[in-house]
Chains A and B, each alone.
Chain A
């Protein structure tokens, strides 16, 4: 009986990599990811749902106290639209300036990400597509988290 061969393991690894690459590749410079999120309308819905979760989430609702939520949601949609290759321009401040007054920690940043994932789940954004956005948001931890 043939034992488990290194080739099989490598085949699995290759298959996994190919599976990851075989789905639509969202190259920088086009709006494929923007369209995958349902364009501005889709982003507006996701941001609205995520914001509802954030202001109800005991872990982070205090950080949303005394914030004009309409203004916040607009800025966030602009930012996500621009990040995903959409025809928008984010006009808010950079992540460090915008968040330093809040003294956020990692747990708060992660809570925000988790609620955003739930919002994206609600609108049936595929997990791999969600990660295409999260890959751009994750490095913002370095600037947004100051505590």
Chain B
């Protein structure tokens, strides 16, 4: 049985050596990182392929904070952009074989286009 009375910070400070304190902080950092890292790894990720100057989806749905990976599997360069009051992005050119990762942080419906190929359109529904 733990006797809580025996856990006294003033005595603790005297009891633990600097090396021991280092280990305590290190273990706490690992625990904190593990918990926070678990939150990042938990974000949603979906892949959309650019091929034959088109997206392979007309529409996708993703949770807010999720990442859309734009995979250029084409023989042409592409880029992606969206313009809206809530959220904007306009990427650099992405050559064949490259992947662009775009996070959608806010809820809403966004039209994603390519500057180079005007008929390309993807609706991203962020929930």
Residues of A within 8 A of B (CB): 65-68, 71, 93, 100-101
Contact = CB atoms under 8 A, between A and B. Distances in A.
Contact of B120 (A66, A71, A101): A66
Interface in B55-75: 74-75
Nearest to B115: A68
20 contacts: A65-B119, A66-B53, A66-B117, A66-B118, A66-B119, A66-B120, A67-B116, A67-B117, A67-B118, A68-B115, A68-B116, A68-B117, A68-B118, A71-B115, A71-B116, A93-B77, A100-B75, A101-B53, A101-B74, A101-B76
Residue from the set A66, A100, A101 with the largest chain B CB neighbour count within 10 Å: A66
Interface size class of B (residues with CB under 8 A): 10 to 19
Nearest to B119: A66
A101 B75 contact: yes
Interface of B: 53, 74-77, 115-120
Closest 7 CB pairs of A and B: A101-B75, A66-B119, A101-B76, A66-B117, A66-B53, A68-B116, A68-B118
Contacts of B116: 67-68, 71
A97 to B, nearest CB: 8
Nearest to B120: A66
Contacts of B119: 65-66
Contacts of B75: 100-101
A131 B22 CA distance: 78
Given A66-B117, A68-B116, A68-B118, 18 more contacts: A65-B119, A66-B53, A66-B118, A66-B119, A66-B120, A67-B116, A67-B117, A67-B118, A68-B115, A68-B117, A71-B115, A71-B116, A93-B77, A100-B75, A101-B53, A101-B74, A101-B75, A101-B76
A101 B117 CA distance: 13
B75 to A, nearest CB: 3
